[in-house]
Amino acid sequence: MTAVTDFLLNRSSEPRLESPAPDPATLDRAFACAARAPDHALLRPWRYLVVEGEGLEALGELFASTCANNSDEKEIEKLRRAPLRAPMVIVGIASPKTHPKVPEIEQVMSAAAGMSFIEIALQDAGYGVMWRTGGVAYHSSVHAGLGLEEHEQIVGFLYTGTVSAPKPAVPRPGVDEFVRHWP
- Residues 18, 162: Cα–Cα separation, whole Å: 5
Residue 116 contacts by C-beta under 8 Å, 6 or more apart in sequence?
37, 131
Q: Pick from 102, 79, 92, 97: which is nearest to 30 by CA?
A: 92
Q: Pick from 24, 137, 174: which is nearest to 88 by CA?
A: 24
Q: Which fold has domain 15-163?
A: NADH Oxidase (3.40.109)
Domains in the chain: boundaries: 15-163
Per-residue pLDDT of the chain (183 residues; tens, 9 = 90+): 688 898 888 889 999 999 999 999 999 999 999 999 999 999 999 999 999 999 999 999 999 999 877 778 999 999 999 999 999 999 999 999 999 999 999 999 999 999 999 999 999 999 999 999 999 999 999 999 999 999 999 999 999 999 999 888 889 999 999 999 999
- Residues 170, 45: Cα–Cα separation, whole Å: 33
Residue 146 contacts by C-beta under 8 Å, 6 or more apart in sequence?
49, 62, 91, 93, 154
**Secondary structure class of 55 (helix, strand, coil):** helix
167 phi and psi angles, rounded to 5 deg: -85, 160
Q: How would you label 97-133 residue by residue, b for 16+ Cβ within 10 Å and e otherwise?
A: eeeeebeeebbbbbbbbbbbbbbbbbbbeebbbbbbe
CB 172 within 8 A of CB 104: no
**Whole-structure pTM value:** 0.94
Q: Annotated binding residues, as ranges? A: 11-13, 36, 40, 131-133
Q: Annotated binding residues for FMN, as ranges? A: 11-13, 36, 40, 131-133
Q: How many CB atoms lie within 10 A of CB 84?
A: 13
